[in-house]
Amino acid sequence: MRIYKDHIILTGSKVKEALLMLNELDQDTILFVVDLEEKLIGALTDGDIRRGLIKGFTIDNYIDDIIQSNPKYITKGENNLDKIIEYREGNFRIVPVVDENLKVVNIINFRKIKSYLPIDAVIMAGGRGQRLQPLTDTKPKPLLKVGSKPIMEHNIDRLALYGIDDFWVSVKYLGEQIEEYFGYGNEKNIKIQYVWENEPLGTIGAVSQIQNFDHDYVLITNSDLLTNIDYEQFFLEFIEQKADLAVLTIPYQVNVPYAVLETADGKVKSFKEKPTYTYYSNGGIYLVKKEMLKFIPRNAFFNATDLMEILIKNELRVISFPFSGYWLDVGKHEDYAKAQEDIKHIKF
């Protein structure tokens, strides 16, 4: 994978150097010009160079004479999804991401990703995976392969497809193997930090140990899920509904093979012949405002459902995001076998 710094060129460089770099970029032919502190100054394309040569510049001239001085950019940490969608739909394929000091911290390529969501992602990967023994006796469940790569890598790649590049991974059982496999995310152009659970802390308790999220929104997911969820739609629904916490929910239908009677005071009021009832189950993926995480106690066993109960009790807005796409909790051997077949046919 190309790292974002392949698109970075230092002010004061010569046109010849820029041409060599653009030649290596294939169809992604744009460079972003920075100073010694990596602060964004401008942009440069092969079209800019051609126009410069027509004006009489040579390959020994400095690029500063021909750069675009007001490039479009995205500021990291801001809730700027409207701008991102505008850029994407306006065919701005490659856009730099800067911090509050205009230092370039990433470059997004809409040929390769679908969005750039202002979210930190926390992946809960500390479980023992007892139901999948003996497969998990020597390997943590998140590293069990589905198709050509581990379950958790499918999750990370799906999140990264939507531009999420700040990851936290909660580990405990055989966590060293997870750290060794994923490292710090450099090969995927993301950042991964690890949170160690000395004792089991439930499905969300380890999040209390993280005090330096980069964004105001945090997505928390189990590591053993396979899904083709559209994370941008999840986020947009969260914002539109003014939610404090959103939970992905999976429809579960119950078919009753008999007529169901509605009664009151012993009298039959109505009945439904062989009805189907739809219920919504917890899908193990949560989107939450960072400020809501203050309700999670430090270093205590705490589940995501405990957080939901507290928020509801405090009359904060907890919403359901019903999902009808592909979703599978790889918790048992039959689930694992199903995942191996599904991966051949489902596009992730």
Domain ranges (residues) in the chain: 4-109, 119-342
Looking at the structure, give the CATH architecture of the domain made up of residues 4-109.
Answer: Roll (3.10)
Peptide bond into 118 cis (omega under 30): no
pLDDT confidence of residue 2? 53
Confidence band of 1 (pLDDT split at 50, 70, 90): very low
Alpha-carbon distance of 245 to 247, in angstroms, equals 7
Q: What is the mean pLDDT of the chain?
A: 92
Query: Strand 94-98's sheet: what is its strand order?
Result: 74-75, 94-98, 104-109
Q: Which two tokens mark 181?
A: 């496999």
Hey, how many other C-beta atoms are within 10 angstroms of the C-beta on 299?
13
Percent of the chain with pLDDT over 90: 76
Q: Has residue 302 got a pLDDT over 90?
A: yes
Cα distances (angstroms) measured from residue 57 to each of 17, 49, 99:
14, 9, 33
Find the distance separating the first CA and the last CA of the chain, reported in whole Å. Answer: 18
| Residues making up the chain, counted from first to last | 348
Which is higher by pLDDT, 289 or 4? 289
- CA-nearest of 222, 200, 170, 213 to 300 is 200
Per CATH, the homologous superfamily of domain 119-342 is Spore Coat Polysaccharide Biosynthesis Protein SpsA; Chain A (3.90.550.10)
pLDDT confidence of residue 335? 94
Rounded to two decimals, the pTM is 0.88
Task: Point out the least confidently predicted range of 8-17, 63-72, 94-103, 262-271.
Answer: 262-271
